[in-house]
Amino acid sequence: MRTAYTADQIRGAEHELMARLPEGTLMQRAASGLAAVCADLLGRVYGRRVVLLVGSGDNGGDALYAGERLARRGARVDAILAGSRTHEAGLAALLDAGGRVSPSSALERADLVVDGLVGIGVSGALREPYAELVSAANAARAPIVAVDVPSGVDASSGRVEGLAVRARVTVTMGAYKTGLLVDPGAEHAGRVELVDIGLGAYLPDPDVAALTSADVDVLLPRPGKESDKYRRGVLGVAAGSSRFTGAAVLAVGGALRAGAGMVRYAGPAAPVAQVRSHWPEAVVTELDRPSVDDVGRVQAWVLGPGLGTGEWAHELAARVLASAVPVLIDADGLTLVARDRSLLRRSAPVLITPHAGELARLIRADRDAIEAGRLEHVRRAAGELGVTVLLKGSTTVVAEESRPVRVNATGTPWLATGGTGDVLSGIAGALLAQGLSCYDAASCAAYVHGAAGRLAADGAPLAAADVASAIPAAVRAICGEAP
């Protein structure tokens, strides 16, 4: 599991470690790792032009010492000093190795730019001359390596207010920072390389975590010799309407492909016909009234995709939520809950899967504010609503009160197309029915969904049904099983 920490958590760990080491040890460790990554990116170091953007803080010192190492290997290293002060020993080491102090025009000739302007302790919009340098660096042809975090990215949240460095690689020291895993910060970070400087024993519980393939492999349910369709999880799906028949088809398909032992679909005539046509494996109940009394026993429900938002849908939602099993609420179900929060007053677990607009309605917040501060708002929603929240978007995040937020590292922008959220609901619902908690089901479903999206897209547009079809291949890849 990849764990990440806030700026305060990192600084606390650094303080404890530095008290046990000779002065300057951590900076030298950081500079060594940074120089190694820069050398790998350059390929050939001798004769290459490296430009350092040097601020007043310790990451400016990291950049200077890394520049010294590159200069001693034959690189032509220019330092642009932007801060009100400069790390004196680092600058002296660079100059002694043959580096030089240069104006900002050096960016035009750079083969590599090292961003050491601001570190993890800075938040808010960049001031001048930093903002002007960041703009020039982003416009230059050379790739940028950011030190610890890209300048302009809030290390603790991923917020970007104004300009921020767009790095090819971010070399982060000691531990991952939260803002490197959550958009918009993650988008600016590029590939993230971790340099071990010895912080591990001094780090507290993480702020956020990202599951790896190995973590998901352990969590995903597998059938045993004694399994039957009932023991493998029976999922109820209340979705679809005469207008949105496809939502029911996609949710059922996602659940079946994700390993549910049985899917019981309940809905009106139009989506019933489509589900029967596409998925003869599903057990279908045509509803002539908003009741699930005749559907049969289930271990979990998916409620809401394409359901509609009228009185009939509200009554059906109330009946489903009156059950004693976990319920996943998505799409139209979220609109119904936003209008009537009393629907959430239940003792059994609830998982909601909103996008930013739906979450904005649920917690009476601004959509743009949610996009800019995903962690803050997903935590608020989990606490305020008393549910597990999977917030969809450029970074999918999963929050449950008193647990670290989980960030999903898979996925592709090609998933931003109609119906893929219905498939995600089916995957997560299947995992709930198979016994995973809302927290684990949401986290694993996001991972599998993202992996299936990558396989289905393969660099080209996809349709939601393609994602459902790719789920078995994604699971095989995650579990390391040959096709």
For the annotated binding site for (6S)-NADPHX, the residues are: 58-62, 119-125, 130, 148, 247, 306, 355, 422
* Binding site members: 58-62, 115, 119-125, 130, 148, 151, 247, 306, 355, 392-396, 421-422
Report how far residue 315's alpha carbon sits from residue 291's, in angstroms, rounded to the nearest whole number.
8
Q: What is the DSSP letter of 474?
A: H
Which positions ≥6 away from 260 have C-beta within 8 Å? 232, 233, 234, 235, 429, 430, 433, 434
Note every long-range contact of 379-382, with CB atoms under 8 Å and residues 24 or more positions apart, other chains counting.
379/405, 381/352
Which positions ≥6 away from 111 have C-beta within 8 Å? 42, 48, 49, 50, 142
- Name the residue type at position 388: T
Nearest by Cα to 349 from 233, 219, 255, 438: 438
* Binding site members for AMP: 392-396, 421
Q: To which residue do tokens 């393609």 refer?
A: 466
The continuous run of DSSP H or E covering 286 comes out as strand 283-286
Report how far residue 55's alpha carbon sits from residue 68's, in angstroms, rounded to the nearest whole number.
16
- Contact between 86 and 56 under an 8 Å Cβ cutoff? The reply is yes
Joined together, the tokens standing for residue 220 give: 């995903």
Q: How many CB atoms lie within 10 A of CB 206?
A: 19
Report how far residue 367's alpha carbon sits from residue 278's, in angstroms, rounded to the nearest whole number.
36
Report how far residue 212's alpha carbon sits from residue 37's, in angstroms, rounded to the nearest whole number.
23
Burial 217-246 (b: 16+ CB within 10 A, else e): bebbbeeeeeeeeeebbbbbbbbbbeebbb
Q: What angle (nearest 5°) sits at the alpha carbon of residue 453, between those of residues 447 and 454? A: 95
Report how far residue 268's alpha carbon sits from residue 275's, in angstroms, rounded to the nearest whole number.
11
* Binding site members for K(+): 59, 115, 151
